[in-house]
Chains A and B, each alone.
Chain A
Amino acid sequence: MGELALPPGAYAAALASLPGAGPAWLARVFLDGGTPRSPEQAWQDVVSGRLPPPGAGAARPPQLPLGLACPGAAGRAVAGSGGAQGGLGTCTPERLWQYCQSRRIRATWIGGPGYPARLAEGPAPPGVLFWVGDIGLLERPCVAVVGTRRCTPDGQQVAYQLGRELSAAGACVVSGLAAGIDGAAHAGALAAACELGPEAGATVGIAASGVDVAYPPRHRLLWEEVTRKGAVISEAPPGRPAQSWRFPSRNRVIAGLARLVVVVESHAKGGSWHTVEAALARGVEVAAVPGSVLSPASVGTNLLIKEGALAVASAQDVLDALGLPARPGPCSPPGPAAEGAAAGSGGGTAWGPVHRSVLGALGRRPRTVDEIVERSGLPLGAVLVALDDLEQRGAALGRAGWWALGTFPGSPVA
């Protein structure tokens, strides 16, 4: 048999792909009995019956042969939930490993190469981790930026700016790739990567589905970008769709990787609380962004602050808490630079009277063209030409019919 020719990661992947294999069982498989097992050894033990298969207990005797849940031969993710009867018995560690390699999916296990040290030290470490991308980014100081999916545009903007500025300052932004705050934090970090090059913009997404299954589906593009510029990590085997029980489990990984967890917005109840609890259990500091007392999306964060969480309002606050130096660069908060450009110093350009008049009509608050025409008193055509000119030279920005000075306060989230 060619089984022995496989690398240990392949056996780790195979163990994690067994139907019913959860974090607790996997951790037992590797650590049971005091001496750590290698993945090959663990696989042999499970196959031969020396170790109980996943899901076996007093109520349910072990069932042999073991069926390996297959991520789908055609390369499409097969719903592996609840037993995956269709793929049983047809998959082997070899085929699974082939599948992983064709998608550049790597796997490691507790004590294996590349396994994040912070996770191994904490309670309930994931038995097996799959990832795509550069997991080495986790060696940077990691900051988890998390929050609700049902966020407000303000929360989204805060998450975006935190992601952008923290990653620009050399931190790695860890989040859950979910809709809302998580996605905005990742998008911010990716924006920093675009602006400052690959050195900045480190971001790692922790997924609840397999690393090759984008969830939510509309984050497919974001997912791909994070894979390309950072990494996506998951406990779930490849091809596995998101299952609800995996989300709290995913949140514990986020908390376990981070040196600081920042909750941007959270309702009175929600997944962010899992992350907070896991962080507290691991002694990871928790910070929260204060919000309006009238906003339901800030009830949770305000409560956290009341209970002693660090209140952060900017990336600088987070960097101070981590003891990291801020790295000034083009990513510094918009304001003086944009105003400077507006005042006429941008690029050494001296604006003409029409441009000056249009600049005077613009503000930091976005305005419609109508408002600009009324405020400047210029004809519509001239205003549009001037706005286009200003936008080209970076003094103004227009999106979807709104115009503002300098950078746009809206959230360009994917």
Chain B
Amino acid sequence: MLATVASATLVGVDGYPVAVEVHVANGLPGFRVVGLPDASCREARDRARAAVVSSGFRWPQRRVTVNLAPSGLRKGGPGLDLPIALGVLAADGQLEPELLRGRAFVGELGLDGTLRPVAGTLPLVAAVAEPEVVVPASSLGEARLVRREGLRGAARLRSLVEALQGRAAWPEVPAAGPQDQPAVADLADVRGQPLARRALEVAAAGAHHLLLVGPAGAGKTMLATRLPGLLPDLTPTEAIEVARIHSAAGLELPGGALSLRPPFRAPHHGASAVALIGGGGARLRPGEVSCAHRGVLFLDELAEFAPHVLDHLRQPLEEGRVVVCRAAAAVAFPARFLLVAAMNACRCGSDGSPGSCRCSEPARERYRARVSGPLLDRFDLRVRVSQPDVGALLAAPGGPARAPGRPGPSPKAPGTPADQGEEPTSVVAARVARARWRARERGLRCSSELPASQLDELAPLSPGARRLLERRLREGLLSARGLHRAWRVALTVADLAGHDGPLSEEHVLLSLALRGEGIADDGSARSSSRDDAQSLAVASWVS
């Protein structure tokens, strides 16, 4: 007898419908799965058999053939366990085949017949066209994100069959309550470091990639983890997009409601290229860059990543997606993320101030060379993070940040920013939202996307600001490429300040300080300024 069960399989972040055809015929007892199953899919036969038997059904002592159609598509993952088991039951006559019609099934089987959730439930459920989908009960919350009607959950194979046959009720689907967003760390916890705080704010507002350079313990990680809280919430469409990727990657979704918080991913520096970019396995799992889609990718100890792994980041940084090509398939993963990286100034871990480092020159050269120039160039913001001031560390939250008995600086005048305690995330996030809104008025998502050709028109410079940039270019302290990047950052700075009209000197100075020309690349702009091409570019702009 023949039975066909609808299901779906996952390639990349997309589900594809699969028809599971089960044929039970006379012959030597045996069990075969054909149709390009991968290893975990081939194992389905052992799980299905045990689950069928332990659920109180009979395993046919006949020849069982399972075909996964379309046979050209490689199937991976254990999500086909359930349709295979049901197909066997139907083909063997223990279950009426009509009951399976118009329904799709996704789920992994335990040997005792329990249904287990599978990675990618969300895109799998989205892919099936049948009016009703049955998923493991624990995946219902996830499935509900993309489908409201015709969702059924089941906890065990036995109860599922009984529900299909109408002998028992479908398990009650608990309504999803409003999910508490996980709390994120607050910016108010960060003491001092005005420039680094400003860099975070500008990075969030303009989607400028950020590099933090400083010694261990200076608070680079602490700063980076504050960033998701500053970013605006995801739109529902973006949130679904993110949830799909996370589901396909097998990450746990906060059950029930959609998380509107931008994701934050911080892979360890031992990450391989495949882990970072995606690929691997028959179903081509999305990598960390895709899991950080619409959120923050934080690479701590940037220089400890293998250089070739880092260079894979160039395509996603440029195009906002990454294409993984394998023999089985070529898959495009979305990967539009805000890159935040942290590194030491050199291997000895000094604060990088001139003369403080005890590394030899070749050693410093080697350390710098671990991050390639093109990648370094993607960072619009490069900020030195130094050990916070002792007084700022010990100051009570909200109290004045001042070192007791420190000689030198005069007592701060009331009204200076440091006296009001550190700004909490909510205040900064409001400014970020306003800046993003101003960018949207220009028809952009954020100011880092402003093309160079429109800078003059949409971000005019005041005469003073222009003179300032000219001077920096002439002195070789700013490269021609750095000019446009600094200009965009200045626009973000002005947006954050709610400033209208031409960009002022202060905006440009702040952007240059944030741009940190010479940080982590040892002043390459300075030496390259002697190059003819550079001089020409500078001359053409300055004239």
Which residues in A have some Cβ–Cβ distance to B below 8 Å? 149-154, 156-157, 179-180, 221, 297, 357, 360-361, 365-371, 373-381, 384-385, 388, 392, 399-402, 408-412, 414
Q: Does B148 contact A (CB under 8 A)?
A: no
Q: Does B177 contact A (CB under 8 A)?
A: no
* Complex Cα–Cα for A151 and B365 (A): 12
**Contact B408 A360, beta carbon cutoff 8 Å:** yes
Known: A374-B418, A379-B417. A149 touches B516 (CB 8 A): no
- Give bound CA distance, A335 to B517, whole Å: 27
- How far, in angstroms, from A357 to B527 measured CA to CA in the complex? 33
Contacts known (A380-B198, A400-B522); A369 close to B513, Cβ less than 8 A:
yes
How far apart are the CA atoms of A154 and B359 in the complex, in Å?
11
Nearest A residue to B411 by beta-carbon distance?
A377
Q: Tell me whether B509 and A150 are in contact (CB under 8 A).
A: no
Q: How far is the CA of A179 from the CA of B392 in the complex (A)?
A: 42
Is B361 in contact with chain A by the CB < 8 A criterion? yes
The minimal Cβ–Cβ distance linking B402 to chain A, given in whole angstroms, is 9
CB-based closest 10 A-B pairs? A410-B354, A400-B518, A377-B412, A384-B509, A401-B384, A150-B360, A381-B506, A375-B409, A366-B353, A373-B194
Quote the shortest CB–CB distance from A354 to chain B (angstroms).
12
Closest to A150 in B: B360
The residues of A that contact B523 with a CB separation of less than 8 Å are: 399-400, 412
Q: Given A360-B408, A377-B413, answer yes or no on A371-B386 (Cβ-Cβ < 8 Å).
A: yes
Closest to A292 in B: B358
Q: How far is the CA of A249 from the CA of B101 in the complex (A)?
A: 90
CB-CB under 8 A from B468, the residues of chain A are 388
Question: Do A370 and B509 have beta carbons less than 8 Å apart?
Answer: no
Given contacts A179-B361, A384-B513, A400-B517, contact A379 B416 (CB under 8 A): yes
Q: Flag if B519 contacts A410 (CB, 8 Å).
A: no
Q: Is chain B's binding surface mostly helix, strand, loop or mixed?
A: loop
> With contacts A151-B360, A377-B413 known, is A414 near B527, CB below 8 A?
yes
**Partner of A385 from B193, B392, B505, B530 at Cβ < 8 Å:** B505
**B354 in contact with A409 (CB, 8 Å):** yes
**Is the CB–CB distance between B510 and A381 below 8 Å?**
yes
Tell me the minimal C-beta distance from B101 to chain A in angstroms. Answer: 68
What is the CB-to-nearest-CB distance from B361 to chain A, in angstroms, rounded to a whole number? 6
Contacts of B392 in A (CB 8 A): 374
In the bound complex, how far is the Cα of B361 from the Cα of A180, in angstroms?
7
Cβ contacts under 8 Å, A150 to chain B: 360-362
Q: Which residues of B contact A369 (CB under 8 A)?
A: 194-195, 384, 513
Contact B354 A368 (CB under 8 A): no
Which residues of B352-388 are within 8 A (CB) of A? 353-355, 357-358, 360-362, 382-386
Judge whether B196 is part of the interface by a CB distance below 8 angstroms: yes
Chain A CB within 8 A of B158 CB: no
Q: How far is the CA of A357 from the CA of B409 in the complex (A)?
A: 8
Q: Per-residue CB proximity of B87-117 to A under 8 Å, as 1/0?
A: 0000000000000000000000000000000
Given the known interface contacts A368-B384, A384-B510, the answer about A402 and B412 at a Cβ–Cβ threshold of 8 Å is no
Which residues of chain B from 497 to 543 have a CB within 8 Å of any chain A CB?
505-506, 509-510, 513, 516-519, 522-523, 526-527, 530
Inter-subunit contact B361/A380 (CB<8 Å): no
Task: Enumerate chain A residues within 8 angstroms of B416, measured Cβ to Cβ.
Answer: 377-379
Known contacts A221-B527, A401-B383; A371/B389 CB under 8 A: yes
A374-B409, A380-B194, A385-B505 known, 6 other contacts, Cβ within 8 Å: A152-B361, A367-B353, A370-B196, A375-B409, A384-B506, A401-B519
Q: Which residues of A contact B192 (CB under 8 A)?
A: 370, 374
Which of the listed residues B355, B418, B471 has the most CB atoms from chain A within 10 Å of its own CB?
Answer: B355
**Cα A287 to Cα B505 with chains together (Å):** 50
* Shortest Cβ distance from residue A152 to the other chain B in the assembled complex, whole angstroms: 7
Q: What are 30 A-B pairs at a CB distance below 8 A?
A: A149-B362, A150-B360, A150-B362, A152-B358, A180-B361, A221-B530, A297-B360, A357-B410, A361-B409, A368-B195, A368-B384, A369-B194, A370-B192, A370-B194, A370-B195, A374-B194, A377-B409, A377-B418, A380-B194, A380-B195, A381-B506, A385-B506, A388-B509, A400-B516, A400-B522, A402-B354, A402-B384, A409-B354, A412-B523, A414-B527
Please indicate the chain A residues that have their CB under 8 angstroms from the CB of B383 in the complex.
Answer: 401
Q: In the complex, A380 Cα to B198 Cα: how many Å? A: 9
In this complex, what residue of B is CB-closest to A179?
B361
Chain B residue numbers with a CB within 8 Å of A392 are 471
A365 and B352 CA atoms in complex are apart in Å by 12
> CB < 8 Å: which of B196, B361, B410, B509 contacts A151?
B361
Asked if A157 and B194 make an inter-chain contact with CB atoms under 8 angstroms apart, the answer reads no
* Contact B418 A152, beta carbon cutoff 8 Å: no
Contact A153 B409 (CB under 8 A): no
- CB-CB nearest in chain B for A401: B384
Contact check, B518 vs A399: say whether CB atoms are below 8 A apart: yes
Inter-subunit contact A153/B194 (CB<8 Å): no
Distance of A377 Cα from B418 Cα, bound (Å): 7
* A377 cross-chain contacts in B, Cβ below 8 A: 409-413, 416, 418
Chain A, residue nearest B406 (CB)? A375
Q: Decide: B195 and A153 in contact? CB cutoff 8 A.
A: no
Closest Cβ of chain A to B450, distance in Å, is 22
Residues of B within 8 A of A380 (CB): 194-195, 198, 417, 510
Residues in A with CB closer than 8 Å to B213 are 401
B354 touching A153, Cβ below 8 Å: yes
How far does the alpha carbon of A150 sit from the alpha carbon of B360 in the complex, in Å? Answer: 6
The answer on a CB contact under 8 Å between B517 and A157 is: no
Q: Compute how far the CA of A158 lies from the CA of B196 in the bound complex, rounded to whole angstroms.
A: 33
Q: Which residues of A contact B389 (CB under 8 A)?
A: 371, 374
Q: Is the CB of A401 within 8 A of B516?
A: yes
Known: A150-B360, A156-B361, A374-B418. A411 touches B409 (CB 8 A): no
A373 to B193 CA separation, bound complex (whole angstroms): 9
Q: How far is the CB of B530 from chain A (nearest CB, A)?
A: 6
Give the contacts of B170-198 with A (CB-CB under 8 A): 192-196, 198
CA distance A374 to B388 in the complex (A): 10
Cα A357 to Cα B408 in complex, Å, equals 10
Which single residue of chain B is at the shortest CB-CB distance from A377?
B412
Residues of chain B within 8 A (CB-CB) of A408 are 354
Q: In the assembly, what is the distance between CA of A380 and CA of B196, in Å? A: 11
Considering residues A179, A369, A409, which has the most beta carbons from chain B within 10 angstroms of its beta carbon?
Answer: A369
A360 CA / B406 CA spacing, docked (Å):
13
Residues of B within 8 A of A411 (CB): 354
Check if A400 sits within 8 Å of B194, measured CB to CB.
no
383-411 of chain B: CB within 8 A of chain A: 383-386, 389, 392, 401, 408-411
Instruction: Determine if B355 and A153 form an interchain contact, defined as CB atoms under 8 angstroms apart.
Output: yes
Which partner residue on chain B sits nearest A411 by CB separation? B354
Q: Is the CB of B526 within 8 A of A412?
A: yes
Q: Which residue of B lies closest to A382 (CB)?
A: B506
The residue on A at minimum CB distance from B531 is A221
Min CB distance B258 to A, Å, is 37
Q: Chain B contacts of A149 at CB under 8 A?
A: 361-362
Give CA–CA (A143, B510) in the complex, Å.
45
Residues of A within 8 A of B384 (CB): 368-370, 401-402
Contact of A381 with B196 in the complex, beta carbons under 8 Å: no
Q: How far is the CB of B524 from chain A (nearest CB, A)?
A: 10
Looking across the interface, which residue of chain B has its beta carbon closest to that of A267? B360
Known pairs A384-B513, A402-B354, A410-B354; A375 contacts B505 (CB<8 A): no
Complex: A312 Cα to B358 Cα, angstroms: 22
- A175 CB to nearest chain B CB (Å): 16
Min CB distance B213 to A, Å, is: 8
For A157, the chain B residues whose CB sits under 8 A away are: 355
How many Å lie between the Cα of A95 and that of B101 in the bound state?
A: 90
B409 contacts A152, CB within 8 Å? Answer: no
In the complex where A378-B416, A385-B505, A401-B383 touch, is A409 in contact with B355 (Cβ < 8 A)?
A: yes
Give Cα distance in the complex from A360 to B362, angstroms: 36
CA distance A377 to B392 in the complex (A): 12
**Residue on B nearest A156 in the bound complex, by CB:** B361
A360 to B407, CA, bound (A): 11
**How close is A391's CB to chain B, nearest CB, in angstroms?**
10
- Given A297-B360, A360-B409, A384-B510, residue A373 in contact with residue B516 (CB < 8 A): no
Query: How far apart are A187's CB and chain B's nearest CB, in angstroms?
Result: 11
